[in-house]
Amino acid sequence: MHATLHRLQRSDFPAIRRGALETLQVNLGYQCNQACLHCHVNAGPKRTEMMSAETVDTVIAFLEASGVRELDLTGGAPELHPEFRRLVVAARERGVHVRDRCNLTILLEPGHEDLADFLADHDVEVVASLPCYEAENVDAQRGEGVHDGSIRALRLLNQRGYGSGDGRHRLDLVYNPGGPHLPPEQGALEAAYREELQGRFGIVFDHLLALANLPIQRFGSTLVSRGQFDDYMALLRGSHRDENLAAVMCRSLISVDWQGQVYDCDFNQMLGLHLGGGGPVHLADLLQRDLAGEPIAVADHCYGCTAGQGSSCGGALAAG
């Protein structure tokens, strides 16, 4: 159980319920070639948790049974999973749109030299982490040399049509604040990214997604150790906007962990808050179940999604 969960559960966050299920988000495992300070998964090179081939089969069966049209793959670095490519191919054969949450530098790792070609060949959307266009800020969050590696990887993707606006090879970048504050306005930040990346490196992309850091796992522990946890929670609660509730990602998404257990979102997964706030539910149990109208498990960290312009896996919410 997460060390800060007892702080987060004492919550008056508004009760919300599910709409129609549109997106299946799957965490294939916590192994990653990076160990970022803001990582809410606490992923890293030494993590060994990884989804079994049998659970991957259940994911494919759910795609068929549910009619879900989007498969959102995350980790860790999801591409490190030996079943990653099989799952992508199976989803695409069933007409499901696939989104890969990519840390970029995985494209440069030994054994992954053809990864950019694979993603392009299967029209996989790439959502790429790049918390800043300045090398100093990126390397401070993600590790020495990550900025240079990210630029090299973005050029590989651009060479394969990503970011060109062709409708098939969507490339979105993800911004996370470097500390306990809300992200700036997404539109203005996107314009700055576009100017800097194209002007300095010749890189193009489709959209920028500005995400707030949630006070869980590695980031939450850092806040606690620095005595900043309560102040950050006060910022999130004080910036809450009711109008963002209609667009939060948990209304149309479920999150599956590496063992096949289901949660209302990726953040709840990291806190061990199961689907609807009840006991453990396996994806196999949902093959014949309609989730529309069911309650969503909430706690204080949910204010991170409704603060200011709002924040979700797709960036700022409509109210922003």
Average pLDDT over residues 83-90: 98
Output the CA torsion sign for 239, 205, 193, 255.
Answer: positive
CATH number at residue 266: 3.20.20.70
Q: Which of 93-97, 129-133, 153-157 bottoms out in mean pLDDT, i.e. has the lowest?
A: 129-133
Q: Compute φ and ψ for 69, nearest 5 degrees.
A: -105, -5
Tokens 């060994």: give the residue: 48
- Indicate whether 214 belongs to any domain: yes
Q: Residue 217: which pLDDT band, with cuts at 50, 70 and 90?
A: confident
Q: Which of 5-14, 70-79, 172-181, 236-245 bottoms out in mean pLDDT, i.e. has the lowest?
A: 5-14
Total of domains in the chain: 1
Q: Which two tokens stand for residue 243?
A: 């109008």
- For 296-309, write each residue's pLDDT tens digit: 999 999 999 999 99
pTM beyond 0.85, yes or no: yes
Give me the pLDDT at residue 1, please. 40
- Indicate whether 312 belongs to any domain: no
Give me the pLDDT at residue 320, please. 42
CB 27 within 8 A of CB 257: yes
Neighbours of 130 (CB within 10 A): 25
Instruction: Say yes or no to pLDDT of 7 above 60.
Output: no
Instruction: Say yes or no to pLDDT of 168 above 70.
Output: yes
Give me the pLDDT at residue 306, please. 95
- Indicate whether 114 belongs to any domain: yes
Instruction: Say yes or no to pLDDT of 319 above 50.
Output: no
| DSSP at 31 | B
Average pLDDT over residues 202-230: 88
Give me the pLDDT at residue 143, please. 63
CA angle 180, 170, 177 (to 5 degrees): 5
- Indicate whether 315 belongs to any domain: no
Instruction: Say yes or no to pLDDT of 247 above 80.
Output: yes
Give me the pLDDT at residue 276, please. 94
- Indicate whether 143 belongs to any domain: yes
- Indicate whether 159 belongs to any domain: yes
Average pLDDT over residues 225-248: 93
Give me the pLDDT at residue 30, please. 86
Neighbours of 40 (CB within 10 A): 23
Q: What is the mean pLDDT of the chain?
A: 89
- For 29-45, write each residue's pLDDT tens digit: 988 765 555 555 666 66
Average pLDDT over residues 192-197: 94
Neighbours of 247 (CB within 10 A): 18
Give me the pLDDT at residue 274, please. 95
Task: Give the span between the Cα atoms of 53 and 64, in whole angstroms.
Answer: 17
> Is residue 278 reached through a cis peptide bond, with omega within 30 degrees of 0 on the bond before it?
no
- Indicate whether 316 belongs to any domain: no
Where in the sequence is the domain holding 35, given as residue range(s)?
Answer: 5-306
Average pLDDT over residues 176-195: 91
Output the CA torsion sign for 296, 221, 261, 91.
Answer: positive
Q: What is the helix (H) or strand (E) element at residue 238, kind and residue range?
A: helix 229-238
**Beta bridge mates, 207:** 172
- Indicate whether 313 belongs to any domain: no
- For 268-288, write each residue's pLDDT tens digit: 998 899 999 999 999 999 998
- For 102-152, write each residue's pLDDT tens digit: 989 999 999 999 999 999 999 999 999 887 787 677 666 666 677 889 999
